[in-house]
Structures are given as structure tokens and as C-alpha cells.
Amino acid sequence: MKTTKFGLSTRIAAATLFCCGIITGLYLAGVDDTSFQLQAAEAEKPPLKTEPMSSPTATRERNFYAPNSEALLPDEMRLIACGTGMPTARPKQAATCFLLELGNGDKFLFDIGTGSAERLSALQIPYNYLDKVFLSHLHSDHFGDMDALFVGGALMGRQKPLRVWGPSGDTPERGTAYALDHLYKALTWDLDGRKGITDPRGYVPFEVTEFDYKGINEIVYQENGVTVRSIPAIHSLDGPVSYILEWNDFKFVFGGDTYPNQWFAEYAKDADLVIHECFITVPALVEKFKFTPQGALDVGTQVHTAPEAYGKMMSIVKPRMAVAFHFFNDFDTAPDIESRIRTTYDGPLSLSTDYMVWNITKDTIRTRMTIFDEDVWPPTPTEKPLVPDPSLRIPFSEFIVNGKYDMKDVIQPIYDETNEQYNLKETQGE
């Protein structure tokens, strides 16, 4: 490529001709000399001095919820989805569990389905505050993590009994009291093995309040300005219920699993937020779960609530926010579910997934997702733990004791270090 060099005088002449051409063109276009001269003079002025941009130091509004980062106002509710999926828990969605937090400090768990205890741990709430569970029914995907909350919660700082409310059944063996009594018995080996090793206060038997599942808008809980009522639900067998919580002129409804029914239509009306199941579509049950068409119709429309029926029920109760759950919320399932809901309902709607959060005030309902730490550790307990009583330990048999390998020489330095650090006089056992 050939490069041509021009002298200084040549470049000046060219620039002069260029400028003259611009002035002539402007003149011919109707712009007078005076106007041009004024503009040229303005262009020659030095630029105004501006302060350099600085990084903001104040907090800004977030479009996500981070645990332990936002105060709950006295006149506010916060709902967090800890399980929104189907009977088989998966990494993205645990089975049914919703945590409701009130501005007065109260916290309520509605169902504690399989996998949901992991979600609760991500929220970093001291376990002494997670001591009230309301069960809608006794399918494992609605109380399958009760043992995890009970044992794990006590181990991580719940120093009080775990309180559970739930319906009776049409026989005593199908009621909540029977289920929790036998769950506690099933944990015999687990609990016996912790005696004399951990703070015992959280391991006492469940405090169960069983109420008549046939009660219609009957009060089952009333403390600290909060009233919880139950209504019958229709699902699988006699026994399931839905809950209505009222506090500070707010109304929250948790349907659990239920076919659309007259009690829900009457008593859930005009609630601030309503949770009602909306099962996966019949075609998806056939395609994804390999159900027969006959089985998909039965489970998807009779045992559970179809999206079209869900929409019709929401059109009847007219909540400020309708929340649908009990389906796998994926890119290829959610659009069909929503389009079917919209054939019968055109109001505010959330297709829930795990870690979704709703902040509810008198003026607004704000919906976001939770950002959480996967490397979370247990939150600090609200009370100091009790020192274990070694006399309560159940000893090993002679057979097991004789199988121990002697490690006293390497363990003794650990005792020495701990005794020095905490001013103790602990000794190794035999």
C-alpha cells in the first residue's frame, strides 16, 4: 500500500478550503454569519468543571431477598416458599412447605414436606423460632421432613418442644396424634443415642394439638393476636384440612392438597394471599411421568386440582395474590399451566417455586426470589445450651466396648487443648 506525505503548508491550505466550504454552505442554507460566529465563540469556551463520579455508599433497593438482611415491619407479613414441588423431591423443588413470618415476630410453618428442612436452614432463622407446624394432612410429601426438623432443629438450637397442629382422621390411626406418636417411637434409637451428649430440651415428645377435621371455620390456634382456623379439604381420604390465618387485618389462606370445595370458596374469599394446589397438566403426567391417560385423568383432575379448576376457584375467592403450587415449575411445563389457568382466571398470580418470597403490606404485595448461601452454618441459638449430663448416657455393651481401638494417646492432646482454652477439667472416658 502506497502512502503519500503532505507538507505542513499543504495541510493548512486544505483545512482552510474545508472551513470556507462549510461557511459558504451554511450561508447558502440560510444561516447568517452572526449566528455562526456566536456558535463558534461558544465552542471555544473552556468546558465547565464537573466533580468526578464517586461510588455510592448508601444501600439501594434489591430485587431479591437475602436472609437476615431486611427488617420485617410491624404491619407486614413475609411468606417464603420452602417446598413447592411434587411428592418426589428434587434439587430444584422440595415437597410442600411454606413459612409465614409476621411483623409481631411470630413464625408459622405450613406443612414440612420431604426436602424442605434444607430450605429452612438456608433462611438462617434460629430454630427456637421455628417451633410451630400446621399440617394439612399426613402424606409424606407434606410431613416427610418432620423428623429432620425435630431432630436437626433440636441439635441446632431449638431448646423447646416442637408444637404441631393437625387434623384427626376418620379413625384414630389416621389422625395426627397417632402419626406423631409413632414417629417419635420410630426415632427411639436416634434419641436414646443422644442422651447425655446434647441439650435434651428440644428432644422431648411433640406437643400435638389434634382437632376435628370436620370443623368448619373452627379456631384451632389463638395466641399473640393471631387466629388460625381450619376448614375441611378433599383429598385421598377423610382428614385433610386447609388453614386460614388472620392477624392485624391480614388474611392468609393455605389450602394444602384439596379438590376445589364449597368451604374454600366461602371462607377464603377476599384474602390477601391464597395458596391453593394446582397440579401438573394431564398431558405432562402422561409424557413426563409415564402415567396412563386414565391414571393421569384421575390423579390430575380428581385427586388433585387441575389448572383450569384452580383458575375457576381463584376467580371465586378473588385474592390480592393467588399462589399456585404442587407442580414441577420448568420452562416447558409452566407456560401450559399458566395458559390453562388464564382460561378461567385473570387476576394476580404467582406460579411458585422454592425460595420465592412475598412481602405483604396493606398497600402492596412484592414478589421476589431468595438469594442464599449454600455453605450455611446453623444460626446462633437464642439461649445458651445446657451442659450434657453424662449420667444419662446409655452405655455400650461389653461386646462393643471390647471392639474399641485404643486411641487415648492421640485424643488426650485434644482434651488438653480444650481444657486449657475453656478452663475445664474434662477427662476421657473408659
CA distance to 101, 209, 213, 221, 414, per residue, from 229 (Å) = 17, 13, 11, 7, 54
Q: Nearest CA to 80 among 311, 379, 350, 381? A: 350
The three cell numbers of residue 126 are 434460629
Angstrom distance (rounded) from CA 163 to CA 165: 7
- The predicted pLDDT at position 156 comes to 94
Angstrom distance (rounded) from CA 185 to CA 179: 10
CA distance to 268, 304, 366, per residue, from 262 (Å) = 10, 16, 29
Angstrom distance (rounded) from CA 81 to CA 368: 11
Angstrom distance (rounded) from CA 288 to CA 19: 73
- The predicted pLDDT at position 62 comes to 82
Place of cell 377435621: 213
pTM of the model: 0.86
Over the chain (430 residues), the average pLDDT of each successive run of 10 is: 42 42 39 43 57 74 91 97 96 98 98 97 97 98 98 96 98 98 98 95 97 98 98 98 98 98 98 98 96 96 97 98 98 97 98 98 97 93 92 94 94 95 90
Q: Give domain limits for the chain.
A: 64-254+352-370, 396-430
- The predicted pLDDT at position 113 comes to 98
Angstrom distance (rounded) from CA 349 to CA 363: 17
Structural contact between residues 98 and 111, judged by C-beta atoms closer than 8 angstroms = yes
- CATH class of residue range 64-254+352-370: alpha beta
- The predicted pLDDT at position 61 comes to 80
Angle at CA of residue 277, ends 244 and 94, nearest 5°: 100
